[in-house]
Chain A
Amino acid sequence: MITLSNIEKYYSNKGIKNYVLRHVTTQIHPGEFVSIMGPSGAGKSTLLNVLGMLEQPTYGKYEFMGEDVSLLKESKRIELYRHHIGFVFQAYHLIDEMTVAENIEAPLLYKKVGGAERKSRVADILDRFNIVAKKDLFPNQLSGGQQQLVGIARALVAQPSIILADEPTGNLQSTQALQIMDLFKKLNQEEGITIIQVTHSEVNATYGSRILHLLDGVIKEDEAVLT
């Protein structure tokens, strides 16, 4: 599904290159649950941003579902966002001016899903996540764990094939974090959604099927998680 070959990313400052990613070459297949681990400054978030096409690598080739991303037009990339990629952020990033239901509905609007279907899909997902009672509240009226549930619901409602999660439990208490990780695992195993997460936590990483250890922008270890 994803093929990275020799991805490099650096920032030049007065002729000195500061490498953030070096020689990153890997493949991610459909249905995998990959955790990217590493210390602060290892390039985890940058790698995720590259995967999410939010940043362009300086060198290297990135193929998403067989297409070379660097050649994609803006409109095509937006198409990918609408149909294939769901984002989950550490700070949830719900739109403060929208209610829970509206936040979840937003990607469907961009995907141009019809009104009736939108309603039923939003209702479905609210039901599945047990947040029907919260649907008319604004994000700042929810706890962190509830906000992240809404964030995941929003990522899922457009039925993406891959979810990119940047420290999804980083701001949460441990019990809430476990629930979220359980949810990810369930989505991966029961619905076959590919998940790539960045995490600091060894425990969280064990929920996945594979761990990429990153150090100073280089993949040091690519380990499979045994269950």
Chain B
Amino acid sequence: MFKLNLTIAWRNLWKHKIYTFINIAGLSIGMASCILIFIFIRYQLSYDDDFQHKQRIYRVVSNWKYLNGTDASQGVPIPLAAAVRTEMPQLEKVAAIQRTTGVLAALGESGEVRFKAYEPAYFAEADFFDIFNFSWLAGNPKNDLLAPNTVALSESAAIKYFGRWQDAIGKILRFQKQEDARVTAIFKDRPENTSLPLQVVFSYATFSQKNDKSWGTVRSTSECYVLLKDGVQIRDADAAMEQFNLKKYKDNDEAGRQYHSFQALSDIHQNGRYGNFAGRSIEKSELYSLAIIGLFLILTACINFINLATAQAIGRSKEVGIRKVLGSERRQLIIQFLTETLAISVVAMLIACVLTEVALPYMQQLFDEKISFSLLQHPIIFVFLVGLVLLVSLLAGFYPALIISGFNPAMAIKNKVSSSYAGGLGLRRLLLVLQFTITTVLIISTMVVMKQMQYMREKPLGFNPNAIAIVGLPGDSLSLLKHENFKARLLAIPGVEQVSLFDVAPSSNNVSESDFSLNGTANKDFQIRTMHIDLDYFKTFDMKFIAGKMLLKSDTTNSYVVNETFLKRNGINDPEQALGKLLTVNSVTAPIVGVSKDFNDKSLHEQISPIVMSSNHLDYYNMAVKMDSRQMVNVMAAVQQLWNATFPNDVYESSFVNDDLNDYYAAERIMGVLFRVFSFVIIFISFVGLFGLISFVTNQRTREVAIRKVLGASTFELLRLLNGSFLLLVFLANLIAWPLAYILINQWLNQYAYRIELNVWPFAAAMFISMLITLITVSLRSYKVAGTNPVDALKYE
């Protein structure tokens, strides 16, 4: 019976080729999108999931409460790790880990440098490896990573620096040209999906600032991980941490403002607020919105299925009637129709798997992640596929099966099942409205996302980022002496227009903040952002003054330039009045000599900070090279050559300001692409479904159309008749979609400090697009019917 059902199913599908194609095309594209989304979400959820004690691992993080907001950091004060270890009995293990970036050099037998690279390295306490279980190829952190000047390498780092990991043991790795460490242990490479991308780990004893006692300084590079004792609840540990905060910051400047809390390991990748060493995170809300889009996709495809199947049911009523008088039970008919749906779903799934394979490289490129699509490697994906097929078959097949199998045989045999009975015209309308509501919401969202992206690309930032490269500078005392001479020689390269030395570019996420006093009055309400710049900074970045002038020439701080926001926050209305006021930052008091026009110093998600700029040549570890845009390639090569000749022991690093700015919006770029792709897919599915539905409706109305024609209706009048109901439904869907889209998109836009205002255009455009496509789809189909000879149509009855 099952085999026969399958054969019949196959013949039926073949007979209605267009219907089958529409169903399978819509379903497989919808399914492929769902699979991609699932693979991506699974991958994101798999971060940091491979540790034995993952349920009990927490990170200690820092938080601040200010009058006008809050702040958070993944880091903790350096003395915190030792303090919680002795003071919090709830913790089984506590380990500090410090990140740094510098020049790593592998030494050969005779002490010569064999290979060097500028890379991140870590200092970790041995307990770190009790909290996180790594697999060790050689050595053991308990014994081999305690002494100063020892280092553990990952397998691939060992191969990179020393050729073979077996050869690395006992060799010397030099850090920042001064610290030599012996390789004592090798661990297996960490998977890609980790927030702890450790390659080179020095013993914590090697860390020069390990005895720092400052509780007021929090660097995002100093993290602390803890392992809760078995059986301890996190809320008990939280309570203990509250007591700890009170005690530590009792008589402190930071009292009431700075406090620490525990963050679960599983939250680290999914919470961008704190950040992590891998620099990769994804917000839960993004995962949710992706999941919702996936659900929408599959829902739209299923709606197609239901609509087409119930519309087609009338054509199959005869078969149902005959089967019933031949002795078929309703249950058997339901099974038969579900078999057909299942067959379609399985075929669609196979095509979807192929589509997924084709699309995966693009998605990998989009997300810049290694995502694997292997049924064997991740059985959960296989389970998802099977689940999806079953869900779709039931969701899309059960209702039509129920309707079709319920036909009265006497009526069915005579083909007298009315279209309204066959699957409730009302329900089909409802589904169509639902489908187009989803489609319209996505069209509107896509347009707004695109507009906001364009706004961010085009908004004047207050400085000119074009044709400027940022080049790193070594900051050791020997290199510092070479800075000025290097700058002069760079300016001699043809095509170099300006060169400026500084610590951070005008827009950067690398933020140093500080307290300050203005005219002797200390400010406790907010902190200012400090930047250290040389005299060519404004010229290089084409920034403007609104009052005063550039800093006085000096290697150390003897004057300040502030920005407009600084004045506003301090209640100074006239920029001229600010000039000459005495400002104290980091215990250095000097007059304000200039006020700069505001420029966006962070991404457009955030407001402009109050900024204080001053000279300090000790902090110039970056350099901007403004070039003639026509000669950039040659100039960059020449700059690199000169750099390598000047600083032979260091590693050259450079980037373009424009690229750095684009990096702020990587998430938006991804969202933008996803929105465009998925809304296109949904539009495609919806309209293909509409096309199919209209085909059936017009077929059913062939007789009505013929009679009307005989009565004298023109083709145009007939088109209007057939279009009318659909246009009304799509219009209704638009009305429902508008407020929904407004709420969703406003929510999304609210995360930007600088955002476009919503106007009526995206909404009107979405309506126009959806109505136009409906009109075209319906007219295309119904034109044929309206054009048929009424004699042919009426002959059937």
Contact = CB atoms under 8 A, between A and B. Distances in A.
B332 interface: yes
Contact of B327 (A55, A81, A97): A81
B328 A110 contact: yes
Interface in B315-367: 318-319, 321-330, 332
A158 B7 CA distance: 22
Contacts of B15: 96-97
Given A54-B409, A102-B4, A109-B1, A87 B11 contact: no
B268 interface: no
Contact of A81 (B1, B8, B325): B325
Report the contact-size class of chain B (Cβ under 8 Å from the partner): 20 to 34
Nearest to B320: A95
A54 B323 contact: no
A98 interface: yes
Nearest to B415: A91
B4 A95 contact: no
B12 interface: yes
A75 B324 CA distance: 11
A106 interface: yes
Interface string A81-99: 1100101010001111110
B323 A75 contact: no
A49 interface: yes
A171 to B, nearest CB: 14
B329 A75 contact: yes
Report the contact-size class of chain A (Cβ under 8 Å from the partner): 20 to 34
Contact of B325 (A54, A79, A97, A102): A54
B410 A95 contact: no
B719 interface: no
B12 A107 contact: no
A220 interface: no
Q: Is the interface of B mostly helix, strand, loop or mixed?
A: helix
A82 B327 contact: yes
B413 interface: yes
A52 interface: yes
A78 interface: yes
Contact of B326 (A49, A81, A97): A81
Given A52-B325, A78-B327, A107-B326, A93 B413 contact: yes
B579 to A, nearest CB: 91
B501 to A, nearest CB: 81
A111 interface: yes
B319 A96 contact: yes
A168 to B, nearest CB: 14
B410 A106 contact: no
Contacts of B323: 95, 106, 110
A95 B319 CA distance: 6
Contacts of B329: 75, 78, 110
Contacts of A97: 8, 11-12, 15, 319
Contacts of A95: 8, 319, 322-323
Contacts of B322: 93-95
Contacts of B327: 78-79, 81-82, 107, 110-111, 158
A87 B325 contact: yes
A79 B326 CA distance: 10
A162 B58 CA distance: 80
A190 B409 CA distance: 31
A49 B328 CA distance: 18
A98 B7 CA distance: 9
A158 B8 CA distance: 21
Interface in A90-133: 93-98, 102, 106-107, 109-111
Contacts of B326: 81, 87, 106-107, 110, 154
Interface string B1-28: 1001001100110010000000000000
Contacts of A54: 325, 408-410
A74 B331 CA distance: 12
Interface string A134-160: 000000000000000000001000100
Interface in B7-60: 7-8, 11-12, 15
Nearest to A111: B327
Interface centre among B15, B318, B326, B413 (most CB of A within 10 A): B326
Interface of A: 49, 52, 54-55, 74-75, 78-79, 81-82, 85, 87, 89, 93-98, 102, 106-107, 109-111, 154, 158
11 contacts: A54-B325, A81-B325, A85-B325, A89-B413, A93-B318, A93-B321, A93-B322, A96-B15, A109-B1, A109-B4, A110-B327
Interface of B: 1, 4, 7-8, 11-12, 15, 318-319, 321-330, 332, 408-410, 413
Closest A-B pairs by Cβ, 5 of them? A82-B327, A54-B410, A110-B327, A81-B327, A97-B11
Given A87-B326, A93-B318, 13 more contacts: A54-B409, A78-B329, A79-B327, A81-B324, A81-B326, A81-B327, A85-B325, A93-B322, A96-B15, A97-B8, A97-B319, A110-B326, A110-B328
